[in-house]
């Protein structure tokens, strides 16, 4: 590798529960402290999801604001990235964390099936969230759950809705979306270089493929998310 | 080319209107006669959409039944394929043509954005329609609007919901779904050969890319849809 890789942590995610794994940080204090530990271990970026009082995923901006403040305090130069994901939640809610002006926010650039549902990111929502990020000087991490989302990212750039060079994350291993398959990653990297020259990328493997995808990404000079 | 290509016609489609193009066959009689003309010109397969009295797309099984009867009569050995597509229509409606036991039905194996909407094919709908086709001995043409749908087709096969060898159609050129890009077609053909050995395929270019995609497909030994 010729350049240092940025190691990102997604400390909580939108799905795992305490019942499944008692170590999952759910409370704001837990999230801040486990981010701090990851920061001290060398993580440069944190991808944040928040949960409500019942441990259910939410897009509540107040909660994002608290985690953001805690991380800014404990991990001064860490890159903070909020998730705008949110199965079933409406557009206004999903984008409410953008106004907090974190360094980055995630931006899924299309729709795809997940295991039992459609992960809904209709064209108007994608456009509205990209605009809000532009207005708040928040850098989008374009989340590519399927191949068309790569070309959609180019289209956002062409329409002035995101600034170049783009930054994308290949997300592999979600059932019904792209599998954790090395050839798929290779093709997407190749296409990215042609379609979005200068773009940076990271790869995330969901579930069983996590470590394998990190390994493929680092081998290819990409960044990795744990 | 070592084997004869099957030329398919989609005589009506779900979108074009008489206002845009007076030559688009909309009435049942028009559809039957233009299929007859294509049959005499060498088309072996017809892909059918039907419209209601106002020219709007519908999934009404009575209309499919009439077109099917007319084509069986005028074009005895033509392969009849009904569309189970239907933006905004419910699952029961969309699959109602399957019980007519045409030779084939289309089956989108995932969801993706189109220009302004999500083309919604949630996992349960895909499964239900595949099952109905299996029960009615209707061969599915798996419509691949994005890459994940290729692996989803394999998953349907593994779960016994479709019979091998699978038959797929690569659909390129719909805004926000896969672009009409030769490298994308090449990669999908390569992946198909590995993931679904023995599968047959056809390619359709939507809009401006139509002729180009046909040309790419025939050059690679695939079938083409006009
Ligand atoms: Zn601390
Ligand atoms: Zn996330
Ligand atoms: Zn006739
Ligand atoms: Zn169709």
A121/B110 touch (CB, cutoff 8 Å), yes or no: no
Q: Is residue A208 part of a domain?
A: yes
Closest CB to B148 among A126, A152, A177? A177
Domain coverage including residue A191: 7-225
* DSSP sequence for A187-219: HHHHHHHHHSTT-EEEEEE-GGGHHHHHHHHHH
Per residue in A112-165, pLDDT (tens digit) is: 999 999 999 999 999 999 999 999 999 999 999 999 999 999 999 999 999 999
Q: Would you call A113 and B124 a contact, using CB atoms and an 8 Å cutoff? A: no
ipTM score of complex: 0.93
Domain count, chain A: 1
The residue whose two tokens read 């497909």 is: B217
The pLDDT, as a whole number, for residue A1 is 33
Q: Residue A26 has what pLDDT?
A: 74
Question: What is the average per-residue pLDDT within A160-187?
Answer: 97
Percentage of residues in chain A with pLDDT exceeding 90? 73
Domain membership of residue A141 (yes or no) is: yes
A24 CA to centre of ligand 1 in angstroms: 17
List residues in chain A touching B: CB distance below 8 A: 110-113, 115-118, 120-124, 126, 145-148, 151-152, 155, 176-179, 181, 183-184, 187, 191
Chain A residue with minimum CA distance to B190: A183
In angstroms, the separation between the Cα of residue A154 and the nearest Cα of chain B is: 11
The burial of B28, by beta-carbon neighbours within 10 Å (0-12 exposed, 13-18 middle, 19 or more buried), is given as middle
Tell me, what's the pLDDT at B3? 52
Rg (CA), chain B: 16
Residue B27 domain-assigned (yes or no): yes
* Ranges of chain B with pLDDT below 70: 1-5, 15, 88, 226
> By three-state DSSP, how is residue A220 classified?
coil
- Does residue B1 sit within a domain? no
Residue B148 counted as domain residue: yes
Contact across the interface for B147 and A152, Cβ inside 8 Å: no
Q: What is the mean pLDDT of residues A14-39?
A: 83
* Dist. CA B83 → ligand 2 center (Å): 36
Q: In this structure, is residue A1 part of a structural domain?
A: no
Q: Is the pLDDT of residue A2 over 60?
A: no
* B148 membership: H or E segment, kind and range: helix B148-158
Confidence of residue A209 (pLDDT cuts 50, 70, 90): confident
The percent of residues in chain A predicted with pLDDT above 70, rounded, is 96
Q: What is the CATH number of the domain that holds A148?
A: 3.20.20.70
| pLDDT tens, position by position, B65-115 | 999 999 999 999 999 999 999 876 787 889 999 999 999 999 999 999 999
CB within 8 Å of B157: residues ≥ 6 apart: B163, B164, B166, B196
User: Which of B130, B111, B105 is CA-nearest to residue B174?
Assistant: B111
Q: State in Å: Cα B205 to ligand 3 middle.
A: 28
Alpha helix stretches (DSSP H) within chain A: 28-40, 61-74, 91-94, 123-135, 148-158, 182-195, 210-219
Question: A80: which strand partners?
Answer: A46
Q: For B174, name the nearest residue in chain A, comparing CA atoms only.
A: A148
HSE-CB for B69 with a 13 A CA cutoff: 8
Which 8-state DSSP code applies to residue A172? E
**A73-107: pLDDT as tens digits:** 999 999 999 999 987 678 788 999 999 999 999 99
Q: Is residue B49 part of a domain?
A: yes
Residue B86 resides in a domain: yes
């Amino acid at each position: 590798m010729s350049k240092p890789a940025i190691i990102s942590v997604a400390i909580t995610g939108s799905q795992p529960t305490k019942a499944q794994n008692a170590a999952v940080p759910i409370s704001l204090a837990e999230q801040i402290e486990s981010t701090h530990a990851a920061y001290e271990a060398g993580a440069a970026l944190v991808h944040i999801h928040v949960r409500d009082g019942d441990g259910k995923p939410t897009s509540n901006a107040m909660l994002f604001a608290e985690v953001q403040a805690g991380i800014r305090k404990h991990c001064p130069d860490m890159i903070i990235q909020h998730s705008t994901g949110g199965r079933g939640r409406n557009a206004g809610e999903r984008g409410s964390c953008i106004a907090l002006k974190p360094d980055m926010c995630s931006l899924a650039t299309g729709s795809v099936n997940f295991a039992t549902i459609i992960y809904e990111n209709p064209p108007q929502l994608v456009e509205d969230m990209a605009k809000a990020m532009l207005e708040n000087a928040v850098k989008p991490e374009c989340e590519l759950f399927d191949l068309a989302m790569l070309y959609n990212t180019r289209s956002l750039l062409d329409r002035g809705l995101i600034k170049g060079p783009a930054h994308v994350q290949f997300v592999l291993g979600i059932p019904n979306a792209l599998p954790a398959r090395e050839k798929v990653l290779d093709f997407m990297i190749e296409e990215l270089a042609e379609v979005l020259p200068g773009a940076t990328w990271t790869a995330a493997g969901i579930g069983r493929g996590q470590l394998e995808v990190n390994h493929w990404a680092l081998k290819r000079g990409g960044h990795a998310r744990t």
